[in-house]
């Protein structure tokens, strides 16, 4: 067993030995299907701590020929596959973590030289019977091995994109790296499978789109690998049952990454959870922020404070619970080339700070854990208005519970003043202000916008979560330059309350109007006893 050539199954064994292990071996069936085909090049990009390295360890354990891994996989899903026995421990595996080599060197030349030197050393030692034409050339060494032994390689590259994150401004180094990967992998008979994983998709470089032979599976287009990175809703539900934790709370904290698998007959939708966060919450028996401890809010702050052509406005709207339109097509798959705000937002999708809805082409903040990271970031920026609105939201909610309509109107008034960047000219902008003003309400409520009622849509509905059923449900109707009583009348006339007929607690009906002449908000509140 070597460090890089057939590294053994220790990494995967440790995953299996962990208290929480979710079976993702279905991925192996997907990689088996493309072995030794034109589709044998796969690149999977996901945010940090989404199971990428674990998957690479699993593939190494399954394919490498120097160690029998049958006992590890015998009880797992892949063992039921027709391809299981055919490929089990049948290949020489090269597994490298590019971050390791980058950390040990100070230039791209030095990194690539070290990588090739270490791989050559292990290959020459392992294949001592092979006659090599040029022992100093990695590519020729692997060609000679394949020619003389017919042993092809499964090549696994973890953290493939680390160079683009740490050498962000060095385009020469980036091109040099891509050229090396192309020369090493493309059109080489010795490659049975090339599998790369990282955070960023493959860099677009015009004529240097060097790795165009790869099929990419990213946060914006997951292909049919969606369920193998992150936890599915069903997997989280089962963990919550096992650990006696609230699934509703887990959903609020960690859900929200929307991935679509396009099928011939019917698309399949996945709502993926951050595995790091879910595991920590189960083991600690406490919901909190765990995933983003791997990246400080400073990383997020760098990008959102750019405020390119309305980026700040988009962030505010997303904090209010809205989804904003996006064009992901101009993103260059790096961390420096930003032509528009959409490029920044697309990067945040790949980093895990936003989720992308590929059906309606919008982005939004996925969950409570990530939302808190935005709050942390803007609290240290010159976004005091937004911060103040969020901080005031607790008091505003208490005023609503107390049915103090004047205090609610005054609180919304202040929120509007604080969030002056929004174009305040229609009911949508009013709705955004209201949602941000009631930011704290998410601690107690599931917020539903445009709730269907049978006779229309209630603008905003706040439904108490399972552990807060002592709080009243709330239906809010918004009016723009009309009157608050009229909003309340609409709730009653269209029977919006019927949408909550199965809710057994108290109900508050709230009408809010903005007068564009006086530039004042008015509020009226009525309680309905059930």
Q: Tell me how many domains the chain contains.
A: 4
Q: Assess whether 136 and 272 both reside in one domain.
A: no
Give the helix/strand (H/E) hosting 77.
none
pLDDT score for 497 = 63
| CA proximity to 155, closest of 3, 10, 2, 6 | 6
| CA proximity to 193, closest of 33, 80, 53 | 33
pLDDT score for 502 = 63
Q: Assess whether 286 and 311 both reside in one domain.
A: no
pLDDT, greater one: 259 or 426: 259
Q: Assess whether 20 and 72 both reside in one domain.
A: yes
Domain limits for position 335: 296-378
pLDDT score for 456 = 60
Q: What is the mean pLDDT of residues 52-64?
A: 96
Q: Taking 90 as the threshold, does the pLDDT of residue 528 lie above it?
A: no
Q: What is the DSSP letter of 522?
A: E
The terminus-to-terminus CA distance of the chain in angstroms comes to: 70
| pTM score of the predicted model | 0.91
Structure-token match 């701590």, residue found: 49
C-beta separation of 328 from 267 below 8 A: no
| CA proximity to 525, closest of 457, 476, 483, 492 | 476
pLDDT score for 133 = 95
Q: What is the mean pLDDT of residues 57-79?
A: 96
Q: What is the mean pLDDT of residues 157-184?
A: 89
Q: What is the mean pLDDT of residues 393-418?
A: 91
Q: Taking 70 as the threshold, does the pLDDT of residue 207 lie above it?
A: no
Q: Assess whether 421 and 496 both reside in one domain.
A: yes
Q: Assess whether 36 and 154 both reside in one domain.
A: yes
pLDDT score for 424 = 66
Q: Assess whether 195 and 89 both reside in one domain.
A: yes
Q: Is residue 161 part of a domain?
A: yes
Q: Is residue 101 part of a domain?
A: yes
417-424: list long-range contacts, CB under 8 Å, 24+ apart: 417/385, 418/384, 418/385, 418/386, 418/388, 418/389, 418/392, 419/316, 419/385, 419/386, 419/389, 420/385, 421/312, 421/313, 421/316, 421/385, 422/313, 422/316, 422/317, 423/313, 424/514
When pLDDT is cut at 50, 70 and 90, the band that residue 453 belongs to is low
Q: What is the mean pLDDT of residues 156-165?
A: 92
State which of 217, 237, 255 marks the end of a domain.
Answer: 217
Q: Assess whether 253 and 274 both reside in one domain.
A: yes
Q: What is the pLDDT of residues 488-506, one digit of tens each?
A: 888 777 766 666 666 667 8
Q: What is the mean pLDDT of residues 203-232?
A: 84
Q: Taking 80 as the threshold, does the pLDDT of residue 516 lie above it?
A: yes
When pLDDT is cut at 50, 70 and 90, the band that residue 379 belongs to is confident
CA dihedral 240, 243, 246, 248 (to 10 degrees): -10
What proportion of the chain, given as a percentage, has pLDDT over 70?
92
What is the average pLDDT score of the chain? 89
pLDDT score for 27 = 97
Q: Is residue 207 part of a domain?
A: yes
Q: Taking 90 as the threshold, does the pLDDT of residue 336 lie above it?
A: no
When pLDDT is cut at 50, 70 and 90, the band that residue 1 belongs to is low
Distance CA 413, CA 428 (A): 16
Within 8 A by CB and 6+ apart from 465, the residues are 248, 249, 252, 444, 445, 446
When pLDDT is cut at 50, 70 and 90, the band that residue 293 belongs to is low
Q: Taking 90 as the threshold, does the pLDDT of residue 241 lie above it?
A: yes
Distance CA 468, CA 246 (A): 13
């Amino acid at each position: 067993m070597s460090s890089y050539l057939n590294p053994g199954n220790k990494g995967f064994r440790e995953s299996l030995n962990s208290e929480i292990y979710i079976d993702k071996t279905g991925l192996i069936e997907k990689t088996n299907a493309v072995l030794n085909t034109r589709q044998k090049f796969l690149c999977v990009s996901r945010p940090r701590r989404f199971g990428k390295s674990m998957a690479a360890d699993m593939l190494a354990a399954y394919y490498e020929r120097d160690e029998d891994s049958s006992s590890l996989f015998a009880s797992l899903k892949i063992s039921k596959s027709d391809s299981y026995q055919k490929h089990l421990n049948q290949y020489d595996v090269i597994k490298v973590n590019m971050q390791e080599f980058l950390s040990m060197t100070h230039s791209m030349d030095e990194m690539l030289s070290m990588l090739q030197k270490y791989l050559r050393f292990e290959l020459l030692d392992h294949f001592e019977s092979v006659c090599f034409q040029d022992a100093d050339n990695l590519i020729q060494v692997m060609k000679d091995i394949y020619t003389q032994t017919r042993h092809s390689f499964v090549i696994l590259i973890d953290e493939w994109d680390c160079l683009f994150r740490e050498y962000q401004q060095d385009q020469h180094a980036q091109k040099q790296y891509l050229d090396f990967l192309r020369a090493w992998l493309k059109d080489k008979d010795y490659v049975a499978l090339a599998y790369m994983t990282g955070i960023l998709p493959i860099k677009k470089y015009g004529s240097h789109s060097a790795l165009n032979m790869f099929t990419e599976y990213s946060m914006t287009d997951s292909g049919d690998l969606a369920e193998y990175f992150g936890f599915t809703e069903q997997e989280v539900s089962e963990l919550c049952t096992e650990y006696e934790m609230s699934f509703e709370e887990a959903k609020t904290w960690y859900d929200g990454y929307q991935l679509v698998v396009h099928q011939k007959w019917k698309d399949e939708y996945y709502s993926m959870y951050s595995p790091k966060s879910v595991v920590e919450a189960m083991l600690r028996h406490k919901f909190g922020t765990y995933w983003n401890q791997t990246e400080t809010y400073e990383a997020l702050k760098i990008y959102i404070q750019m405020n390119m052509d309305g980026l700040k406005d988009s962030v505010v709207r997303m904090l209010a619970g809205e989804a904003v339109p996006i064009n992901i097509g101009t993103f260059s798959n790096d961390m420096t080339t930003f032509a528009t705000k959409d490029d920044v937002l697309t990067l945040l999708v790949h980093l895990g700070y936003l989720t992308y809805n590929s059906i309606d082409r919008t982005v939004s903040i996925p969950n409570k854990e990530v939302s808190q990271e935005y709050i942390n970031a803007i609290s240290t920026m010159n976004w005091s208005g937004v911060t103040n609105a969020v901080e005031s939201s607790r008091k505003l909610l208490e005023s609503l519970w107390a049915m103090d309509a004047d205090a609610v109107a005054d609180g919304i008034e202040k929120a509007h003043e604080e969030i002056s960047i929004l174009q305040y000219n229609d009911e949508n902008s009013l709705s955004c202000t209201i949602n941000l003003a009631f930011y704290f309400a998410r601690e107690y409520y599931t917020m539903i916008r445009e709730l269907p009622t049978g006779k229309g849509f209630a603008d905003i509905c706040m439904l108490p979560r399972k552990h807060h059923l002592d709080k009243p449900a709330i239906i809010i109707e918004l009016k723009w330059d009309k009157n608050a009583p009229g909003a309340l009348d609409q709730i009653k006339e269209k029977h919006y309350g019927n949408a909550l007929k199965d809710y057994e607690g108290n109900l508050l009906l709230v009408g809010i109007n903005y007068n564009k002449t006086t530039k004042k908000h008015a509020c009226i509140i009525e309680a309905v006893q059930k």
